[in-house]
Amino acid sequence: MSPYLLGLRLTGRRVLVVGGGRVAQRRIPALLDAGAIVTLVSPSVTPALDDLIAAGRFTWEARPFQVGDCDGAWLVQACTDDRAVNGAIAAEAEAKRIWCVRADDRDASAAWTPASGRVDEITVAVTAGGDPRRAAGVRDAVVEALRDGTVQARRSRTKPVGVALVGGGPGDPGLITVRGRQLLAQADVVVADRLAPRALLDELPSDVELIDAAKIPYGRFLAQEKINELLIDRARKGAFVVRLKGGDPFVFGRGGEEVLACAEAGIPVTVVPGITSAVAVPAAAGVPVTHRGVSQEFHVISVHVPPDHEQSTVDWQALARSQGTLVLMMAVERIEAVAQALVRYGRSADTPVMVVQDGTLPTQRALSATLATVSERVAAAGIRPPAIVVVGEVVKVGQEVEMVRAGRVP
């Protein structure tokens, strides 16, 4: 017959585990997480359990099972590798009306330990007729579906409130964080940037309000003040609002302004960091922003105005003197002025440069140049935003990697 499933609340209750092998090694941490007071009876234990014992997480009695060990327990786990011993443990527990799980015999066991997983406040437990491998496979599939939003959780009575600033990553929809994907699946309203992972928006239910907050360079855009107003207005009406951004909300994403606006309006805000394109896009092109013996530092610079502009707060002279990697955002249309400034202030005109357009997307393309040639090469190739510019010797590291992969050892 099918088992009757319960969620045991074990906080402060004694649980007896007999046997200190791999089965106990898996089950004891879960029991401790549930708040149980665990007593382990076993002549020996695995190193992982020994580490927990040294930390004072539970009590270990280094001996074989004895009659009377079940006294005072609410639950017993018989995990030895001796069938006769497990049978004796189960018999004593049965006589004392204590639920006992036998690790060696599902048919003789009074209870089964399900394969379980947790996503936020949702706990998934699967028994699969006592087949642990099948149960684990089903558990994994359900947990993954909850994490990536495939299984919707928008109707939960404990759904999030207010506004969530979610960093969507550099463009590839697979690079959004698990937490970001979860909150997106629970949204009533999504306010999306132009550089947010657009493929994820196609997965939203039809009743989700989608607001396009794109800021197109030298084109149409939604003013930041209006975006702030929309976030506050929808949240005040009881909707859970996700502000979906490209990269990370706090790396040239104006996330700080939105948090301040919501805080001033009394709206709770959750910030979910994202993978910034400043690091991810060079990596996607095979270029590390730091490399032992080459670069011990990297600088991320917004080039929304050229170096000689009165609104620029960037110390280009210091950057030119630095030996670190420069990662330039929004620099493509001002690349000539940037290259000239760096050379003028001391960087070699032969410094390697890589420009990566549409990083992490199927349309990604990259070109290599130097500070002396990058402007001409960008214009000839028709490179357009969004693109990341990497300046420094690490570009050579990426080129070396590609040569090795191609079988052309430098």
Residues 6+ apart with CB under 8 A from 193: 168, 213, 214, 215, 244, 245, 246, 253
User: Which among 82, 148, 215, 396 is annotated as catalytic?
Assistant: 215
Cis peptide before 386 (omega within 30 of 0): yes
Cα Dmax for the chain: 88
Structure tokens at 110: 């009074």
Phi/psi for 161 (5° steps) reads -125, 165
Mark whether 193 is an active-site residue: yes
- Count CB-CB contacts under 10 A for residue 257: 13
Phi/psi for 264 (5° steps) reads -65, -25
The alpha carbon of 401 is separated from its chain's Cα centroid by a whole number of angstroms, namely 27
User: Which among 104, 193, 248, 358 is annotated as catalytic?
Assistant: 193
Residue-level length of the chain:
410
Residues facing residue 166 across a β-bridge: 244, 272
The helix/strand/coil state of 356 is strand
Q: Residue 296, class by beta-carbon neighbours within 10 Å (0-12 exposed, 13-18 middle, 19+ buried)?
A: exposed
Residues facing residue 102 across a β-bridge: 78
Long-range contact list for 31-34, CB < 8 A, 24+ apart? Answer: 31/77, 32/57, 32/58, 34/8, 34/9, 34/10
Distance CA 250, CA 167 (A): 9
Residues 6+ apart with CB under 8 A from 58: 28, 32, 37, 38, 39, 40, 52
Phi/psi for 78 (5° steps) reads -95, 105
**Radius of gyration from C-alpha coordinates of the chain:** 29
- What value, to the nearest 5°, has the Cα angle with vertex 14 and ends 9 and 16? 115
Mark whether 215 is an active-site residue: yes
The residues assigned a catalytic role are 193, 215
